[in-house]
Amino acid sequence: MPAGSSPSQVIGKVIALGLIAHQVFRKYETYNIAIHSALLFLPPVLLSFFASPPQWTFFHALLVNSAMYLTTLMLSVVIYRLSPVHPLAHYPGPIGCKVSKFWMAFLCLQGYQHQYIKSLHERYGDVVRIGPNEVSIRDATALNTLLGPSGAPKGPHFVGRVLSEHTLPMVGIMDTDVHLRRRKNWGRGMSPAAIKEYEHLIARRACQLLERLEGRAGEEVVIGTWFNFFTYDFMSDMAFGGGTELIKAGHDEGNVWALLDEAMFISTFLGHVPWLGVHFGKIPAATGNLNVLLNNCAECVKARLKRGSQRKDLFHYLNNEDLTDKAAPPMQQIIDDGVLAIVAGADTTSSALTGLTYLLLTHPDAYQKLQAEIDKFYPAGENALDTKHHREMPYLTAVINETLRVLPPVPGGSQRQVPVGGNGLVAGNIVLPPGTIFWPHIYSHHHDARNFSPYTSDFWPERWLLASGDLDSSRGVTASSPEFRHNEAGYLPFSIGPMNCVGKALALQELRMVVCAFLQKFRVRMKEGWDPRTYEREYRDYFTSPRPDLPVRLEVRS
């Protein structure tokens, strides 16, 4: 081994290399495990080999140099992130959030990050630092600038969720131009003409659901479980041309929902630290059921493509089968979008249906008004799955809107990132430097009294009727009352702008059809002795929203 330097000289070099490594990490963000490993371990190894003091053995030098190097690197990172020279230093937030994204990653495991972030906004204001380079925003006046046509592209959290920076579903693509190109296929698959084709699939599965529930009339039923079965079966029909029969089985056949819930739990953690998701993705079985879910999605897509297009399902459009002059996209692209179809197509609608049922049961006046409207347009004997009256039913629309406001199926919203090489983004008083990640936090916007008051966090469908002019007053409040606030700029269950939820129209159609048919058929009662506070207390946020059981009793209406 070559003659080395004195211990003090070596320690000085180690500290200098640790500081340099921090600057490299800051400037060149990467998910490459080889680069990460080289920056973390190569400098102390080289120093130990070529510049260690003569009295140190190689292993002694490696131990000392590694400890000193990593300590320097970590201290440099922490001091910089807490210092006034950090670009986001003027935005307040908890120290743990400023220091590391692991703070939010571990905190989110309990499922209450939506409530935590809302509490941070109530404490700190409209812009809160929830990560070293990340903020949450609660300012409806800024949303059009942040999310509109000139808004920021998607953020990196889907990299961690799907364990790869290269195989992303359409909703997670960070290059805006690529995202919008990929969205064209989805746009055709979610067009009014395509949704009209899917109506008979909704109706068929809804009829099947009602028949199975009729056989359970008078018994205790966990209604959210049956809504899960319905949405998953319909999603399979709509996206893949069929393949599941959960309603028929009457149980979670194949554990698809257990798998989905556990996978969302894991992916939420890794979404906060996407680089770790990429690394874990290289280790077999390291991510448990998340990898299983991704592999199952791939198998569903491959099976659908092997069968071919038997009807105009979603993959008829995603695979360009409707375009005779255009080749099919790469297989990996189709698989990536299959993940999105399964997660977004099943869980969000089931969450909305279950939340709506819970809110009606805990607000009997609203239940009675909605029931009266449904009975008016769909009396006994009328086909409640016919969509012809939906535009004439303002209270149905108000109930759905208010459900999505109080209990949004995706409470956190869509992560965005200011381009690293750009000039930053200015929205009113909000200034976001290049590279800043931000969340326009849906749950906080929906529960902000500046957007919706009075009864800001209560279920009050009448607020939508007052705002639209379909109702003169409710609870002594009119649209001109000083306390009345109804700012729909702060209502974003489907996000807004050119990268909003492409499945919005289908989801609303599904909700309207099922709610009308369900309430025409059944009278729903809460299980005696069940504490209704359980539902909202245990409503979780894992990007999607796992729900607690909602036990009810159904009576067939005559």
* Closest among 260, 146, 245, 218 to 547, alpha carbons compared: 260
Residue 70 one-letter amino acid: L
**Cα separations in angstroms, 557 against 212, 385, 519:** 15, 17, 9
Under DSSP, the state recorded for 191 is: S
Question: 10 Å Cβ neighbour count for 194?
Answer: 20
Give the bridge partners for 474, in sequence order: 477
Alpha helices in 378-489 (DSSP H): 394-406, 442-446, 462-468
Helix (H) or strand (E) holding 486: strand 485-486
Return the beta strands (E) in 389-508 as ranges: 416-417, 425-427, 430-432, 437-440, 452-453, 473-474, 477-478, 485-486
Burial of 437 by CB count in 10 Å (0-12 exposed, 13-18 middle, 19+ buried)? buried
CA distance 375 to 366: 14
**Cβ-contact 411, 533 below 8 angstroms:** no
Integer angstrom CA distances of residue 459 from 163, 180, 446, 488, 519: 38, 36, 12, 16, 19
Q: Is the Cβ–Cβ distance between 231 and 353 less than 8 Å?
A: yes
- Which tokens sit at 31? 């998910």
Closest residue by Cα to residue 401 from 325, 504, 497 = 504
| CA of residue 42 relative to chain centroid, distance | 38
* CA–CA dist 151, 135 (Å, integer): 16
Cβ-contact 179, 170 below 8 angstroms:
yes
Cα–Cα distance, 246 to 251 (Å, whole number)? 6
Residue 467: count of CB within 10 angstroms of its CB: 18
Q: How far apart are the C-alpha atoms of 553 and 221, rounded to whole Å?
A: 6
501 is in an annotated binding site: yes
As given in the structure block, the two tokens for residue 39 are 């920056």
The binding site consists of 501
The binding site for heme consists of 501
